[in-house]
Amino acid sequence: MPEFHHPITDPTIPAAQLLKELSGLSKQQIKHAMKKGAVWVSEGDSGHKRLRRADKTLKQGQELHFYYDAGVLDLQVDDAVLIADEGDYSVWYKPYGMLSQGSKWGDHCTINRWVEQNHLPQRPAFIVNRLDRAAQGLMLIAHTKSTAANLSGLFASREIAKSYTALVSGRFPTDLKLESLVDGKTALSRAVLLTFNEITNKSLVSVEIETGRKHQIRKHLSGAGFPIVGDRLYDPKVSACEQNLCLVSTTLAFNCPISGNHKSYRLSDDYLPKVG
């Protein structure tokens, strides 16, 4: 029973009860799935919306959508960590495995959902920038739609300075400019050596990007012969049992679109990969 779609013909039956009858799952399993974002409702051309209330009574003409995958719903991730609360937006450390965006199968492992449920006082949470599931580091979360639009505009116009720290295999040069096509578009990165460990043959590097292509840093460093430690996508020598990807979004700096003040955030060294 991976998924099903059911038109509402009897509006007197609460959503959870209807799903129980249709799926054969227990009411507790249904509530669990609803809370984690696996149930949706739609009506005509109005689009799909997640349905979380078990006692919600639907309207005739709506359609109920259930995407059930016990493996997805049972996934767990480490907690996000608040770095700074600026009122209309906040800055967070996203741990490995936490998602920047959910799917139809659920959203409980996304950072915005985690923030909505755990950050006090409770506020809406809108994604501004994204990190790969395997990456860690700083993310901006907006708490109003207008702030989300303003901050997203800063990213789009490259008015937000950001840097990353990566642990790579091999002795890295002092300074390396990387340029190539990523998904058919020009991608520019610059990496600077921070430290090298002779014993482990690993280098800690700081990376700044002038463009924001998917997996840009991972592709650039791997293509230059210095794959990121733990990169299961771009380093064929990495096995599934090895450590996680050692790539961290380390700094964010920009002029606040609300106050006009310059803001700068940097992760402490405790969050950075160790070279030895």
What's the pLDDT band for 3 if we cut at 50, 70, 90?
confident
Please name the amino acid found at residue 248.
Answer: V
pLDDT confidence of residue 276: 81
| Pair 258, 271: CB distance under 8 Å | no
Give the H or E element holding residue 50: strand 48-50
d(CA 30, CA 195) in angstroms, rounded, equals 51
Q: What integer is the mean pLDDT of 110-120?
A: 95
What's the pLDDT band for 242 if we cut at 50, 70, 90?
low
Strand-pair category, 202-209 with 161-169: antiparallel
The pLDDT tens digits for 247-260 are 999 999 999 999 99
Q: What integer is the mean pLDDT of 188-200?
A: 95
Q: Which residue has the higher pLDDT, 104 or 2?
A: 104
In this predicted structure, the answer to whether residue 26 has a pLDDT above a threshold of 80 is yes
Q: Tell me phi and psi for residue 153, to 5 degrees.
A: -65, -35
**pTM for this predicted structure:** 0.90
Q: Which residue has the higher pLDDT, 240 or 72?
A: 72
Close Cβ partners of 264 (under 8 Å, ≥ 6 residues apart): 251, 252, 253
Mean of pLDDT over the chain: 92
Q: Which residue has the higher pLDDT, 275 or 110?
A: 110
Please name the amino acid found at residue 192.
Answer: V
d(CA 113, CA 118) in angstroms, rounded, equals 9
CA distances from 143 to 150, 157, 161, 245 (A): 12, 21, 21, 29
Domains of the chain: 3-73 (3.10.290.10), 81-157 (3.30.70.580), 162-249 (3.30.2350.10)
In this predicted structure, the answer to whether residue 240 has a pLDDT above a threshold of 60 is no
